[in-house]
Structure 1
Amino acid sequence: MVSEAIIRHIESGSLREGDRLPSEGDLAVSHGVSVGTVQKALVQLVHSGLITREQGRGTFVSGSRVAPADVRYLRFRDADGNDLPSYVHARSVKRLKRKGPWSEFLGGDGFVRIERVISVGGRFDLYSEFWLREEDFAELGGVDRAALEKNLRELVAQRLSLPTLRVDQWIQFGKLPAAAANELNIDPNEPGFIMELRGYTLRNRPLYYQSIYSGPFSERLVITRENAQ
Protein backbone atom coordinates (compact mmCIF):
# COMPACT_ATOMS: atom_id res chain seq x y z
CA MET A 1 0.00 0.00 0.00
CA VAL A 2 2.79 2.43 0.90
CA SER A 3 4.82 1.58 -2.21
CA GLU A 4 1.81 1.91 -4.53
CA ALA A 5 0.86 5.27 -3.03
CA ILE A 6 4.34 6.70 -3.60
CA ILE A 7 4.43 5.35 -7.15
CA ARG A 8 1.03 6.91 -7.91
CA HIS A 9 2.26 10.30 -6.70
CA ILE A 10 5.34 10.04 -8.93
CA GLU A 11 3.26 8.98 -11.94
CA SER A 12 0.75 11.80 -11.44
CA GLY A 13 3.48 14.41 -11.15
CA SER A 14 2.65 15.42 -7.59
CA LEU A 15 6.09 14.05 -6.71
CA ARG A 16 8.83 14.98 -9.16
CA GLU A 17 12.52 14.24 -9.60
CA GLY A 18 14.43 15.58 -6.60
CA ASP A 19 11.35 16.04 -4.40
CA ARG A 20 11.74 14.96 -0.81
CA LEU A 21 9.36 12.39 0.59
CA PRO A 22 7.71 12.78 4.00
CA SER A 23 9.57 11.30 6.96
CA GLU A 24 9.13 7.64 7.85
CA GLY A 25 7.06 8.65 10.86
CA ASP A 26 4.75 10.86 8.80
CA LEU A 27 4.30 8.12 6.18
CA ALA A 28 3.51 5.60 8.92
CA VAL A 29 0.84 7.87 10.42
CA SER A 30 -0.73 8.78 7.07
CA HIS A 31 -1.00 5.13 6.01
CA GLY A 32 -1.86 3.69 9.40
CA VAL A 33 1.09 1.28 9.47
CA SER A 34 4.22 0.84 11.54
CA VAL A 35 7.50 2.61 10.86
CA GLY A 36 9.03 -0.82 10.19
CA THR A 37 6.52 -1.42 7.41
CA VAL A 38 7.34 1.97 5.89
CA GLN A 39 11.06 1.19 6.05
CA LYS A 40 10.54 -2.09 4.19
CA ALA A 41 8.52 -0.30 1.49
CA LEU A 42 11.20 2.37 1.06
CA VAL A 43 13.98 -0.20 0.85
CA GLN A 44 12.02 -1.95 -1.92
CA LEU A 45 11.61 1.30 -3.87
CA VAL A 46 15.29 2.21 -3.42
CA HIS A 47 16.29 -1.19 -4.75
CA SER A 48 14.04 -0.66 -7.77
CA GLY A 49 15.68 2.70 -8.48
CA LEU A 50 12.55 4.79 -7.98
CA ILE A 51 13.80 6.70 -4.94
CA THR A 52 17.13 7.44 -3.26
CA ARG A 53 17.96 7.81 0.42
CA GLU A 54 20.67 10.21 1.60
CA GLN A 55 22.09 9.91 5.08
CA GLY A 56 21.09 12.91 7.18
CA ARG A 57 19.03 14.49 4.38
CA GLY A 58 16.08 12.20 3.73
CA THR A 59 14.43 10.26 0.91
CA PHE A 60 14.07 11.71 -2.58
CA VAL A 61 12.49 10.85 -5.91
CA SER A 62 15.30 9.55 -8.13
CA GLY A 63 16.42 10.96 -11.45
CA SER A 64 15.11 7.93 -13.36
CA ARG A 65 12.05 8.60 -15.45
CA VAL A 66 9.20 6.71 -13.85
CA ALA A 67 6.94 5.17 -16.47
CA PRO A 68 5.43 1.71 -16.87
CA ALA A 69 7.67 -0.61 -18.84
CA ASP A 70 6.50 -2.46 -21.91
CA VAL A 71 6.64 -6.04 -20.64
CA ARG A 72 4.12 -7.69 -22.91
CA TYR A 73 4.97 -11.30 -22.29
CA LEU A 74 5.01 -11.21 -18.47
CA ARG A 75 2.22 -9.51 -16.55
CA PHE A 76 1.03 -9.63 -12.98
CA ARG A 77 -2.44 -8.91 -11.61
CA ASP A 78 -3.69 -8.09 -8.14
CA ALA A 79 -6.48 -9.92 -6.33
CA ASP A 80 -9.09 -7.83 -8.19
CA GLY A 81 -7.70 -8.75 -11.61
CA ASN A 82 -6.07 -5.37 -12.29
CA ASP A 83 -2.77 -5.35 -14.17
CA LEU A 84 0.14 -4.17 -12.03
CA PRO A 85 2.50 -1.72 -13.76
CA SER A 86 6.15 -2.69 -14.14
CA TYR A 87 9.05 -0.25 -13.79
CA VAL A 88 12.51 -0.98 -15.15
CA HIS A 89 15.77 0.15 -13.57
CA ALA A 90 18.96 -0.57 -15.55
CA ARG A 91 21.71 -1.92 -13.31
CA SER A 92 24.71 -2.50 -15.59
CA VAL A 93 25.99 -3.32 -19.07
CA LYS A 94 29.01 -5.64 -19.24
CA ARG A 95 31.00 -7.27 -22.03
CA LEU A 96 31.83 -10.85 -21.11
CA LYS A 97 33.51 -13.88 -22.62
CA ARG A 98 31.94 -16.20 -20.05
CA LYS A 99 30.09 -19.22 -21.40
CA GLY A 100 26.62 -20.37 -20.42
CA PRO A 101 23.19 -21.07 -21.90
CA TRP A 102 23.34 -17.68 -23.64
CA SER A 103 26.51 -18.64 -25.52
CA GLU A 104 25.13 -22.06 -26.44
CA PHE A 105 22.10 -20.36 -27.96
CA LEU A 106 23.61 -17.24 -29.52
CA GLY A 107 26.95 -18.66 -30.63
CA GLY A 108 30.12 -16.61 -30.92
CA ASP A 109 32.83 -15.69 -28.45
CA GLY A 110 31.86 -12.32 -26.99
CA PHE A 111 28.61 -11.22 -25.39
CA VAL A 112 27.02 -8.23 -23.71
CA ARG A 113 24.87 -8.71 -20.61
CA ILE A 114 22.33 -6.04 -19.69
CA GLU A 115 21.26 -6.34 -16.06
CA ARG A 116 17.95 -4.79 -15.06
CA VAL A 117 15.59 -4.86 -12.08
CA ILE A 118 11.86 -4.74 -12.80
CA SER A 119 9.64 -3.49 -9.99
CA VAL A 120 6.16 -5.00 -10.18
CA GLY A 121 3.78 -2.39 -8.83
CA GLY A 122 6.22 -1.63 -6.03
CA ARG A 123 5.33 -5.00 -4.48
CA PHE A 124 8.27 -7.17 -5.48
CA ASP A 125 11.15 -7.23 -7.95
CA LEU A 126 12.23 -9.31 -10.90
CA TYR A 127 15.89 -9.57 -11.86
CA SER A 128 16.59 -9.76 -15.60
CA GLU A 129 19.69 -10.58 -17.63
CA PHE A 130 19.40 -9.77 -21.34
CA TRP A 131 22.20 -11.15 -23.54
CA LEU A 132 23.23 -10.07 -27.04
CA ARG A 133 26.20 -10.94 -29.20
CA GLU A 134 28.93 -8.36 -28.74
CA GLU A 135 28.85 -7.42 -32.42
CA ASP A 136 25.07 -6.88 -32.35
CA PHE A 137 25.31 -4.64 -29.29
CA ALA A 138 28.07 -2.62 -30.95
CA GLU A 139 25.78 -2.03 -33.94
CA LEU A 140 23.23 -0.38 -31.62
CA GLY A 141 25.55 2.60 -31.27
CA GLY A 142 25.41 4.66 -28.09
CA VAL A 143 22.80 3.33 -25.69
CA ASP A 144 21.93 5.50 -22.70
CA ARG A 145 20.12 4.48 -19.51
CA ALA A 146 16.76 5.73 -20.77
CA ALA A 147 16.97 3.40 -23.78
CA LEU A 148 17.95 0.45 -21.59
CA GLU A 149 14.89 1.00 -19.43
CA LYS A 150 12.52 0.61 -22.36
CA ASN A 151 11.61 -2.43 -24.45
CA LEU A 152 14.95 -3.92 -25.50
CA ARG A 153 13.46 -6.01 -28.27
CA GLU A 154 11.99 -2.92 -29.88
CA LEU A 155 15.33 -1.14 -29.52
CA VAL A 156 17.07 -3.97 -31.40
CA ALA A 157 14.33 -4.04 -34.05
CA GLN A 158 14.50 -0.28 -34.66
CA ARG A 159 18.27 0.17 -34.74
CA LEU A 160 19.34 -3.11 -36.32
CA SER A 161 16.24 -3.88 -38.41
CA LEU A 162 16.11 -7.26 -36.67
CA PRO A 163 12.56 -7.88 -35.48
CA THR A 164 11.77 -10.59 -32.95
CA LEU A 165 9.73 -13.09 -34.96
CA ARG A 166 9.56 -15.92 -32.45
CA VAL A 167 10.16 -16.36 -28.73
CA ASP A 168 10.58 -19.69 -26.96
CA GLN A 169 9.75 -19.51 -23.25
CA TRP A 170 10.42 -21.92 -20.38
CA ILE A 171 9.54 -21.65 -16.69
CA GLN A 172 10.86 -23.64 -13.77
CA PHE A 173 11.33 -23.34 -10.02
CA GLY A 174 14.82 -23.95 -8.73
CA LYS A 175 17.87 -22.52 -7.04
CA LEU A 176 18.64 -19.04 -8.31
CA PRO A 177 22.12 -17.98 -9.43
CA ALA A 178 24.06 -16.18 -6.72
CA ALA A 179 23.87 -12.84 -8.55
CA ALA A 180 20.08 -13.04 -8.84
CA ALA A 181 19.57 -14.11 -5.22
CA ASN A 182 21.83 -11.30 -4.05
CA GLU A 183 20.10 -8.70 -6.22
CA LEU A 184 16.67 -9.79 -4.99
CA ASN A 185 17.85 -10.12 -1.39
CA ILE A 186 16.50 -13.65 -0.96
CA ASP A 187 17.93 -16.85 0.50
CA PRO A 188 20.08 -18.45 -2.23
CA ASN A 189 19.19 -21.90 -0.92
CA GLU A 190 15.45 -21.41 -1.42
CA PRO A 191 13.85 -22.20 -4.80
CA GLY A 192 12.72 -19.28 -6.89
CA PHE A 193 10.95 -18.45 -10.13
CA ILE A 194 13.10 -18.83 -13.25
CA MET A 195 11.99 -17.85 -16.76
CA GLU A 196 14.13 -18.35 -19.85
CA LEU A 197 13.40 -16.64 -23.17
CA ARG A 198 15.11 -17.24 -26.50
CA GLY A 199 14.33 -14.77 -29.27
CA TYR A 200 14.72 -15.45 -32.98
CA THR A 201 14.79 -13.03 -35.89
CA LEU A 202 14.88 -13.33 -39.68
CA ARG A 203 15.77 -16.75 -41.11
CA ASN A 204 15.30 -18.24 -37.66
CA ARG A 205 18.55 -16.66 -36.48
CA PRO A 206 19.08 -16.56 -32.67
CA LEU A 207 18.84 -12.91 -31.63
CA TYR A 208 18.84 -12.62 -27.84
CA TYR A 209 18.78 -14.71 -24.70
CA GLN A 210 17.03 -13.51 -21.56
CA SER A 211 16.64 -14.94 -18.08
CA ILE A 212 14.25 -13.56 -15.44
CA TYR A 213 14.31 -14.44 -11.76
CA SER A 214 12.09 -13.80 -8.76
CA GLY A 215 11.46 -14.94 -5.25
CA PRO A 216 7.99 -16.06 -4.07
CA PHE A 217 5.04 -13.86 -5.03
CA SER A 218 1.30 -14.07 -4.36
CA GLU A 219 0.11 -12.03 -7.34
CA ARG A 220 -1.44 -13.70 -10.38
CA LEU A 221 0.98 -14.22 -13.24
CA VAL A 222 -0.22 -13.96 -16.84
CA ILE A 223 2.19 -15.18 -19.52
CA THR A 224 1.56 -14.26 -23.14
CA ARG A 225 3.16 -16.45 -25.75
CA GLU A 226 4.33 -14.24 -28.60
CA ASN A 227 5.03 -15.51 -32.08
CA ALA A 228 5.54 -12.11 -33.67
CA GLN A 229 6.51 -8.55 -32.85
Structure 2
Amino acid sequence: MTKLSMVSDAIIRHIESGSLREGDRLPSEGELAVHHGVSVGTVQKALTQLVHSGLITREQGRGTFVSGTRVAPADVRYLRFSDAEGKDLPCYVHARSVKRIKRKGPWSDFLDSEAFVRIERVINVGGRFDLYSEFWLREEDFAELGGLDRTALEKNLRELVGQRLSLPTLRVDQWVRFGKLPSAAAQELKIESGQPGFIMELRGYTLRNRPLYYQSVCSGPFQERLVILRENGQ
Protein backbone atom coordinates (compact mmCIF):
# COMPACT_ATOMS: atom_id res chain seq x y z
CA MET A 1 0.00 0.00 0.00
CA THR A 2 1.35 3.42 -0.93
CA LYS A 3 1.68 6.21 1.64
CA LEU A 4 -1.05 8.10 -0.20
CA SER A 5 -3.45 5.14 0.05
CA MET A 6 -2.55 4.64 3.71
CA VAL A 7 -3.64 8.19 4.59
CA SER A 8 -6.83 7.96 2.52
CA ASP A 9 -7.77 4.57 3.98
CA ALA A 10 -7.25 5.79 7.53
CA ILE A 11 -9.58 8.77 7.06
CA ILE A 12 -12.21 6.61 5.35
CA ARG A 13 -12.09 4.08 8.22
CA HIS A 14 -12.71 6.86 10.75
CA ILE A 15 -15.73 8.07 8.73
CA GLU A 16 -17.17 4.56 8.33
CA SER A 17 -16.70 3.71 12.01
CA GLY A 18 -18.42 6.91 13.13
CA SER A 19 -15.43 8.34 14.94
CA LEU A 20 -15.58 11.11 12.33
CA ARG A 21 -19.13 12.27 11.63
CA GLU A 22 -20.80 14.69 9.25
CA GLY A 23 -19.52 18.20 9.97
CA ASP A 24 -16.55 17.08 12.07
CA ARG A 25 -13.30 18.90 11.41
CA LEU A 26 -10.24 16.86 10.47
CA PRO A 27 -6.82 17.51 12.02
CA SER A 28 -4.60 19.98 10.19
CA GLU A 29 -2.40 18.85 7.31
CA GLY A 30 0.66 19.09 9.55
CA GLU A 31 -0.95 17.03 12.31
CA LEU A 32 -2.01 14.36 9.82
CA ALA A 33 1.49 14.26 8.34
CA VAL A 34 3.09 13.75 11.76
CA HIS A 35 0.49 11.15 12.79
CA HIS A 36 0.99 9.04 9.66
CA GLY A 37 4.70 9.66 9.25
CA VAL A 38 4.37 11.14 5.75
CA SER A 39 5.04 14.48 4.09
CA VAL A 40 2.53 17.32 4.05
CA GLY A 41 2.48 16.97 0.26
CA THR A 42 1.27 13.38 0.56
CA VAL A 43 -1.47 14.49 2.97
CA GLN A 44 -2.54 17.23 0.57
CA LYS A 45 -2.83 14.74 -2.31
CA ALA A 46 -4.87 12.35 -0.16
CA LEU A 47 -7.23 15.12 0.92
CA THR A 48 -7.63 16.30 -2.67
CA GLN A 49 -8.69 12.78 -3.71
CA LEU A 50 -11.23 12.58 -0.89
CA VAL A 51 -12.62 16.02 -1.75
CA HIS A 52 -13.15 14.93 -5.35
CA SER A 53 -14.88 11.74 -4.18
CA GLY A 54 -17.29 13.82 -2.08
CA LEU A 55 -16.28 12.40 1.30
CA ILE A 56 -14.82 15.64 2.69
CA THR A 57 -14.96 19.36 1.97
CA ARG A 58 -12.28 22.02 2.40
CA GLU A 59 -13.16 25.57 3.42
CA GLN A 60 -10.65 28.37 3.00
CA GLY A 61 -9.52 29.68 6.37
CA ARG A 62 -11.61 27.14 8.33
CA GLY A 63 -10.21 23.69 7.60
CA THR A 64 -11.30 20.30 6.28
CA PHE A 65 -14.63 18.74 7.27
CA VAL A 66 -16.52 15.49 6.80
CA SER A 67 -18.96 16.08 3.96
CA GLY A 68 -22.68 16.51 4.39
CA THR A 69 -23.30 13.92 1.66
CA ARG A 70 -23.86 10.27 2.48
CA VAL A 71 -20.60 8.49 3.22
CA ALA A 72 -21.86 4.91 3.59
CA PRO A 73 -20.44 2.51 1.01
CA ALA A 74 -22.85 1.82 -1.84
CA ASP A 75 -23.92 -1.61 -3.01
CA VAL A 76 -22.28 -1.73 -6.43
CA ARG A 77 -21.90 -5.46 -6.86
CA TYR A 78 -20.64 -5.59 -10.43
CA LEU A 79 -17.69 -3.32 -9.55
CA ARG A 80 -16.02 -4.68 -6.44
CA PHE A 81 -12.30 -4.66 -5.82
CA SER A 82 -9.77 -5.66 -3.22
CA ASP A 83 -6.19 -4.48 -2.98
CA ALA A 84 -3.07 -6.60 -3.22
CA GLU A 85 -3.32 -7.34 0.51
CA GLY A 86 -6.85 -8.75 0.17
CA LYS A 87 -8.68 -5.79 1.70
CA ASP A 88 -12.09 -5.05 0.15
CA LEU A 89 -12.35 -1.49 -1.18
CA PRO A 90 -15.77 0.14 -0.61
CA CYS A 91 -17.40 2.09 -3.42
CA TYR A 92 -18.95 5.52 -2.89
CA VAL A 93 -21.48 6.61 -5.53
CA HIS A 94 -22.23 10.25 -6.34
CA ALA A 95 -25.03 11.13 -8.77
CA ARG A 96 -24.12 13.88 -11.23
CA SER A 97 -27.11 14.28 -13.54
CA VAL A 98 -30.26 12.75 -15.01
CA LYS A 99 -31.05 13.78 -18.59
CA ARG A 100 -33.59 12.82 -21.25
CA ILE A 101 -31.78 12.34 -24.53
CA LYS A 102 -32.72 11.32 -28.07
CA ARG A 103 -29.14 11.15 -29.33
CA LYS A 104 -28.16 7.84 -30.93
CA GLY A 105 -25.34 5.61 -29.79
CA PRO A 106 -24.63 2.04 -28.64
CA TRP A 107 -27.40 2.45 -26.06
CA SER A 108 -30.00 3.13 -28.76
CA ASP A 109 -28.82 0.19 -30.86
CA PHE A 110 -29.20 -2.09 -27.85
CA LEU A 111 -32.38 -0.71 -26.28
CA ASP A 112 -34.09 -0.22 -29.67
CA SER A 113 -36.03 2.91 -28.75
CA GLU A 114 -36.25 6.58 -29.75
CA ALA A 115 -35.90 8.37 -26.39
CA PHE A 116 -33.71 7.56 -23.41
CA VAL A 117 -32.75 8.72 -19.94
CA ARG A 118 -29.07 8.86 -19.01
CA ILE A 119 -28.02 8.74 -15.36
CA GLU A 120 -24.48 10.05 -14.85
CA ARG A 121 -22.62 8.98 -11.72
CA VAL A 122 -19.08 8.99 -10.34
CA ILE A 123 -18.01 5.95 -8.33
CA ASN A 124 -15.07 6.41 -5.98
CA VAL A 125 -13.21 3.17 -5.20
CA GLY A 126 -11.82 3.14 -1.69
CA GLY A 127 -10.70 6.77 -1.89
CA ARG A 128 -8.06 5.73 -4.43
CA PHE A 129 -9.50 6.45 -7.87
CA ASP A 130 -12.76 7.35 -9.61
CA LEU A 131 -14.90 5.62 -12.21
CA TYR A 132 -17.33 7.48 -14.45
CA SER A 133 -20.63 5.69 -15.16
CA GLU A 134 -23.47 6.32 -17.61
CA PHE A 135 -26.61 4.21 -17.04
CA TRP A 136 -29.17 4.30 -19.88
CA LEU A 137 -32.84 3.31 -19.75
CA ARG A 138 -35.71 3.69 -22.19
CA GLU A 139 -37.61 6.87 -21.36
CA GLU A 140 -40.83 4.92 -20.79
CA ASP A 141 -39.10 2.55 -18.35
CA PHE A 142 -37.57 5.45 -16.43
CA ALA A 143 -40.99 7.12 -16.17
CA GLU A 144 -42.38 3.95 -14.57
CA LEU A 145 -39.78 4.21 -11.80
CA GLY A 146 -41.55 7.27 -10.38
CA GLY A 147 -39.64 10.11 -8.77
CA LEU A 148 -36.02 9.34 -7.92
CA ASP A 149 -34.24 11.45 -5.33
CA ARG A 150 -30.48 11.65 -4.93
CA THR A 151 -30.44 8.84 -2.38
CA ALA A 152 -32.17 6.46 -4.80
CA LEU A 153 -29.82 7.41 -7.64
CA GLU A 154 -26.81 6.53 -5.50
CA LYS A 155 -28.00 3.01 -4.76
CA ASN A 156 -27.75 -0.15 -6.85
CA LEU A 157 -29.67 0.85 -10.00
CA ARG A 158 -30.07 -2.75 -11.13
CA GLU A 159 -31.94 -3.63 -7.96
CA LEU A 160 -33.96 -0.41 -8.08
CA VAL A 161 -35.23 -1.25 -11.58
CA GLY A 162 -35.98 -4.81 -10.50
CA GLN A 163 -37.95 -3.73 -7.44
CA ARG A 164 -39.98 -0.89 -8.96
CA LEU A 165 -40.62 -2.33 -12.41
CA SER A 166 -40.65 -6.03 -11.50
CA LEU A 167 -38.00 -6.47 -14.20
CA PRO A 168 -35.09 -8.42 -12.71
CA THR A 169 -31.72 -8.44 -14.42
CA LEU A 170 -31.34 -12.06 -15.51
CA ARG A 171 -28.21 -11.71 -17.64
CA VAL A 172 -25.46 -9.15 -18.16
CA ASP A 173 -23.04 -9.16 -21.07
CA GLN A 174 -19.80 -7.33 -20.38
CA TRP A 175 -17.11 -6.04 -22.74
CA VAL A 176 -13.89 -4.21 -21.89
CA ARG A 177 -11.61 -2.21 -24.13
CA PHE A 178 -8.94 0.48 -24.06
CA GLY A 179 -9.86 3.55 -26.08
CA LYS A 180 -10.50 7.29 -26.21
CA LEU A 181 -12.61 8.38 -23.25
CA PRO A 182 -15.84 10.32 -23.89
CA SER A 183 -15.47 14.04 -23.18
CA ALA A 184 -17.87 13.86 -20.20
CA ALA A 185 -15.83 11.04 -18.66
CA ALA A 186 -12.55 12.88 -19.18
CA GLN A 187 -13.98 16.01 -17.54
CA GLU A 188 -15.28 14.16 -14.46
CA LEU A 189 -12.09 12.12 -14.10
CA LYS A 190 -9.94 15.24 -14.57
CA ILE A 191 -8.13 13.75 -17.57
CA GLU A 192 -7.06 15.70 -20.64
CA SER A 193 -9.67 15.45 -23.41
CA GLY A 194 -8.84 12.85 -26.04
CA GLN A 195 -6.74 10.70 -23.73
CA PRO A 196 -7.31 6.92 -23.77
CA GLY A 197 -8.59 4.94 -20.80
CA PHE A 198 -10.32 1.78 -19.65
CA ILE A 199 -13.92 1.36 -20.85
CA MET A 200 -16.38 -1.33 -19.73
CA GLU A 201 -19.76 -1.80 -21.41
CA LEU A 202 -22.58 -3.68 -19.69
CA ARG A 203 -25.82 -4.77 -21.36
CA GLY A 204 -28.53 -6.02 -19.04
CA TYR A 205 -31.38 -8.33 -20.07
CA THR A 206 -34.60 -9.15 -18.24
CA LEU A 207 -37.51 -11.54 -18.78
CA ARG A 208 -37.83 -13.14 -22.23
CA ASN A 209 -34.31 -11.90 -23.02
CA ARG A 210 -35.59 -8.30 -23.34
CA PRO A 211 -32.86 -5.61 -23.33
CA LEU A 212 -33.28 -3.65 -20.09
CA TYR A 213 -30.41 -1.20 -19.66
CA TYR A 214 -27.09 -0.17 -21.18
CA GLN A 215 -24.20 1.03 -19.05
CA SER A 216 -20.68 2.23 -19.68
CA VAL A 217 -18.00 2.60 -17.00
CA CYS A 218 -14.77 4.50 -17.65
CA SER A 219 -11.51 4.89 -15.80
CA GLY A 220 -8.30 6.78 -16.34
CA PRO A 221 -4.89 5.25 -15.59
CA PHE A 222 -4.09 4.03 -12.08
CA GLN A 223 -1.03 2.22 -10.79
CA GLU A 224 -2.37 -0.06 -8.09
CA ARG A 225 -2.79 -3.78 -8.67
CA LEU A 226 -6.39 -4.68 -7.74
CA VAL A 227 -8.44 -7.86 -7.61
CA ILE A 228 -11.92 -7.85 -9.20
CA LEU A 229 -14.43 -9.62 -6.93
CA ARG A 230 -17.34 -11.51 -8.42
CA GLU A 231 -20.89 -11.11 -7.07
CA ASN A 232 -20.75 -14.47 -5.31
CA GLY A 233 -17.49 -13.50 -3.63
CA GLN A 234 -15.34 -15.82 -5.74
User: Which TM bucket (shorter chain)?
Assistant: over 0.9
Structure 2 alignment gaps of length 5 or more:
1-5
4+ long deviations beyond 6 Å: none
| Contact map agreement 1:25 1:35 (CA 8 A) in 2 | yes
Give the match's secondary structure for 1:98. Answer: coil
Count residues in correspondence. Answer: 226
The reply on whether 1:219 has 2:225 as its aligned counterpart is yes
Deviation at 1:203, TM superposition (A): 1.3
Deviation at 1:225, TM superposition (A): 7.9
The corresponding residue for 1:75 is: 80
Deviation at 1:32, TM superposition (A): 1.6
The corresponding residue for 1:131 is: 136
Q: Pick which of 58-67 and 200-209 moved more.
A: 58-67
The corresponding residue for 1:165 is: 170
Deviation at 1:223, TM superposition (A): 5.7
| Contact map agreement 1:76 1:219 (CA 8 A) in 2 | no
Question: What amino acid is aligned across from residue 97 of structure 1 in structure 2?
Answer: K
Q: Deviations over 1:11-70 (max 9, x none)?
A: 000111111112222222211222221121111111111112222222211122222222
| Contact map agreement 2:131 2:218 (CA 8 A) in 1 | yes
Distance 1:82 1:7 in 2: 13
Distance 2:170 2:187 in 1: 33
Per the normalisation by structure 1, the TM-score is 0.93
Q: Which residue of 140, 148, 151 maps to 2:153? A: 148
Q: Which residue of 110, 119, 127 maps to 2:115? A: 110
The corresponding residue for 1:176 is: 181
Distance 1:91 1:27 in 2: 31
Structure 1 alignment gaps of length 5 or more:
none
Question: What amino acid is aligned across from residue 224 of structure 1 in structure 2?
Answer: R
Give the match's secondary structure for 2:137. Answer: strand
| Contact map agreement 1:77 1:219 (CA 8 A) in 2 | no
The corresponding residue for 1:3 is: 8
Deviation at 1:186, TM superposition (A): 2.1
Distance 2:192 2:45 in 1: 17
| Contact map agreement 1:85 1:120 (CA 8 A) in 2 | yes
The corresponding residue for 2:95 is: 90
Q: Pick which of 84-93 and 165-174 moved more.
A: 84-93
The corresponding residue for 1:25 is: 30
| Contact map agreement 1:20 1:59 (CA 8 A) in 2 | yes
Q: Deviations over 1:46-103 (max 9, x none)?
A: 1111112222222211122222222222222211122211111111111222211111
Distance 1:103 1:119 in 2: 27
Distance 1:209 1:69 in 2: 20
The corresponding residue for 2:61 is: 56
| Contact map agreement 2:176 2:201 (CA 8 A) in 1 | yes
Distance 2:88 2:13 in 1: 14
Distance 2:19 2:229 in 1: 33
Q: Give the root-mean-square deviation of aligned CA atoms.
A: 1.6
The reply on whether 1:43 has 2:43 as its aligned counterpart is no
Per the normalisation by structure 2, the TM-score is 0.91
